[in-house]
A and B are shown apart, each in its own frame.
Chain A
Amino acid sequence: MEFSQQLMQQLINGISLGSIYALIALGYTMIYGIIKLINFAHGDIYMVGAYIGFFAITQANVSIFPALLISMVVTGLLGMLVEKLAYKPLRHAPRISILITAIGVSFFLEYASMYFVSPTPRTFPEVMGNVAFHVGDLVINGQQLLILGITVVLMVILTYIVQRTKLGKAMRAASFDTETAQLMGVNADQVISFTFIIGSALAAVAGVLVGVYYNSIDPLMGIMPGLKAFVAAVLGGIGILPGAVVGGLVLGVIEALVSGFISSTFRDAAAFAILILVLLFKPSGLFGKNTNEKV
């Protein structure tokens, strides 16, 4: 009884954490899908999102939902700007150049943030009060419900955009074959900008939610979740949207189980062990097809 209850509790914690990873991983995987870049600055975009939410709540005195929206818009535009200034000029350069640039952008965002908001961690304001729901012996707190609710809503909206709208179809076409999509009249630059906006806005939501969940944010907070979300995207199959969601949830649950039943010090090791195992045994990921590179 004791064990199964603890198991359930860790599952709840894991799914909350996993939702955060999923939101970040979606951006990784969408951007990879369209320009074949592992955007290592994505974790830092998430950090900026957390700060914008923080300032919206503390300086503009708005509540959590407007803060989320503000953060999505501003961070989305930041993502677009990063692409236009840093990645677009390198579109025809060797892939390693743009990858190195992404790492440069990552450092730039981290240390520019330290300069502007100081390296000291900030305490994220209470937005949910101390609500907690008891289901039998299990505890689901308000933050966890908020994370789950928002993640589900965003996934539904994203699925609608990608599957049903003209822009979403253009995105899928361009990510499958950019040149042929252009022959159909798709403006590749626009689609790429749009992808960066969406991916960055999702990361911004994750950033604000983490602030709400853990109460603390700092300029280097994006490094670890950025890497974890990368693991999640690879686990699900990079470039595949449902893969990013499942990869994020699986990773979150595994981390929660490891911290709950073994030791929280092994949590990160477990995440990266998964990366190594995936790369060794199924590099295309859970949802990936084992196809060779297109010629």
Chain B
Amino acid sequence: MGTMLKIDNINVYYGAIHAIKGISLEVREGEIVTLIGANGAGKSTTLRTISGLLKPKDGKISFLGKDIAGKPAHEIVREGISQVPEGRRIFAEMSVLENLELGAFIRKDADGIKADMEMVFRRFPRLEERKAQQAGTLSGGEQQMLAMGRALMSRPKLLLLDEPSMGLAPLLIREIFSIIEDINKTGTTILLVEQNANMALSIADRAYVLETGRITLSGDAAKLAASEDVRKAYLGG
């Protein structure tokens, strides 16, 4: 499997705050890679930097061999990276259908968009039932599904997911995670950021542990889940 995304020693600042301190990581084609760590460790910052919402001060980010560090967000999605942001960030005042249409904003192939819309509705039947409804009236789980469907509408090669389990009931979390596995099986590579380390490690191939802006551990997800350090710090003993 070839390397899809390679981050090489990036530093990211929020004003004077040094949020990411020399992170390097790699995502290979077809993988599910997860980035776990406590609140404020820099997980979302890493995703936001990949998506182009933040610019790294130095270091390299390459995607399919192309240097993308510092490119604006609206161009990065055209390279094939789509993000489901933290807190879902759906367009609450627009309809479910319009949210999905916006997900396909970069595309011009009307037939392909239509086919993908049907694919999203097959994956999330509840979205089809509510397609004319204002997105803000959906439940938390439905909003998460909409945010994921919206991200899929750009037909990404790499899907970035930021805390998809946030604020959801355990049963719903399991459903969302099985959908993530499903999306991966149909050929989309996934980089998953989670505080729910248990769930994330259970579906991931590999994992990185982030602590105050640095990667402290990395490796095979199953091995990390079994390791004493990770169990103590993130899996509740």
Contacts and interface: CB of A to CB of B under 8 A. Distances in A.
A182 B74 contact: yes
A172 B77 contact: no
Contact of B73 (A169, A177, A182): A182
Contact of A183 (B77, B92, B94, B98): B77
Interface string B195-214: 00000000000000000000
Interface string B97-128: 01001110110000000000000000000000
A106 to B, nearest CB: 31
B51 A169 contact: no
B93 A185 contact: no
Contact of B74 (A166, A169, A188): A188
Given A183-B83, A184-B150, A176 B92 contact: yes
Contact of A185 (B85, B94, B105): B105
B91 A173 contact: yes
B176 interface: no
Nearest to B81: A183
B26 to A, nearest CB: 23
Interface string A32-61: 000000000000000000000000000000
Contacts, number: 61
A82 interface: no
Interface string A167-199: 001101100110111111111100000000000
B25 interface: no
A101 B88 CA distance: 35
B231 interface: no
B150 to A, nearest CB: 7
Interface string B54-88: 00000000000000000011100110001101000
A169 B72 CA distance: 20
A185 B89 CA distance: 15
A-side binding surface: helix, strand, loop or mixed?
Answer: helix
A169 B82 CA distance: 19
B69 to A, nearest CB: 17
Contacts of B73: 179, 182-183
A188 B74 CA distance: 8
Contact of B106 (A169, A176, A180, A185): A185
Sorting the interface of chain A by its residue count into under 10, 10 to 19, 20 to 34 or 35 or more gives 10 to 19
Contacts of B82: 183
A204 B104 CA distance: 34
B74 A176 contact: no
A184 B72 contact: no
Contacts of A184: 74, 77, 102-103, 105-106, 150, 154
B72 A181 contact: no
A177 B94 CA distance: 12
Contacts of A186: 74, 102, 105
A176 B101 CA distance: 16
Interface in B103-161: 103, 105-106, 150, 154
Nearest to A170: B105
B235 interface: no
A180 B105 CA distance: 12
B8 to A, nearest CB: 23
B78 A185 contact: yes
B41 interface: no
B23 interface: no
Contacts of B150: 184
Contact of A166 (B85, B91, B93, B105): B105
Contacts of A182: 52-53, 72-74
A181 B99 CA distance: 10
A13 B102 CA distance: 42
Given A182-B72, A183-B51, A169 B94 contact: yes
8 contacts: A169-B101, A173-B102, A176-B92, A180-B91, A183-B77, A185-B154, A187-B72, A187-B74
The 6 closest A-B pairs by CB, nearest first: A185-B106, A182-B73, A180-B89, A185-B77, A185-B105, A184-B105
